[in-house]
Amino acid sequence: MKHDATDAHTLAAAYALGALDDDERTYFEDHLRTCEACRQEATEFEATTARLAAAVSYTPPAAAKAQVVAAIDGVRQLPPRVPAPSTAPVLRGFLRRRAASLALAACVAAAALGGVAVWRTQDGQDLERQARQAQQRLDEVSAVLAAPDARTVHGKAANGALTTVVASDRQNKAVFTAAGLPAPGEGKTYQLWLDHNGTMRPAGLIDHDGTVILTGSPADAAGVGLTLEPTGGSPRPTTDPLLLMALPA
């Protein structure tokens, strides 16, 4: 696929939502390696996406399930999807310029549909508890990203993943984001570490692309590490680090 050099700067929102095809994702990840502005924008869109998802999470009315089941027979089946003809370059450019707004709208719809899927498999109390926990985590992430003293540093892991750490002294917390993180493999997970005077202390787990709050206080830490560990994590690193990155000063 041929890309215009100016298109890359419009793809951050769609990338954060996982809405790019394989060619576009590869193209944008190559661009991220040289564009700090897009790395920051993609990180912010990931946090926004998560917040929008939480915003539509709620416990459905008790009668909702019966109403949905009763209405199924009366819903008209959609016609088969027919591939559209090739899009002209001018239209493709226009759509990419609209990527951010369309991606955010798609996020709301996807979050709503995801909420229905969860509701059908879990009872209301479990859903409400998970929604509260998710909202709390999102609030913590947002507080760090929005902190007046937030500082950002970017890195690249040995396995090719692009990483970002945002730290705030005021919040005494740090946020870690990974993009392009390969699957850890069966029985494995990625573990984060905080370097305290040469001692690596566990700072949380991450097994796929996304954003997490580092556990523990980053106040006295000099850096962040990433290793591949057995599922559940380890009390100390058992493999060579995939990433050692100084915390933003």
**Selected residue with higher pLDDT from 243 and 28:** 243
Q: How confident is the model at residue 182 (pLDDT cuts 50, 70, 90)?
A: very high
- The pair of three-digit structure tokens given for residue 11, joined into one six-digit string: 């793809």
Q: Contact at 8 Å (CB) between 223 and 247?
A: yes
Residue type, 225: G
- 105-114, 153-162, 170-179, 217-226, range with the lowest pLDDT: 105-114
Written as one string, the DSSP assignment of 1-17 is ----TTGGGG-HHHHHT
Closest C-alpha to 10, from 103, 108, 135: 103
Looking at residue 122, its pLDDT comes to 52
Task: Locate all alpha helices (DSSP H) within the chain, ordered by sequence.
Answer: 12-16, 22-32, 36-55, 64-71, 89-97, 99-121, 124-146
Residue 157 has pLDDT above 90, yes or no: yes
Within 13 Å of residue 218, how many CA atoms lie on the same side as its CB? 30
Residue 60: the pLDDT is 62
- Shortest CA distance to 165 belongs to which of 131, 206, 200, 197? 206
Identify the CA nearest to 32 among candidates 15, 50, 49.
Answer: 15
Q: Is the pLDDT of residue 81 over 70?
A: no
DSSP H or E run through 202: strand 199-206
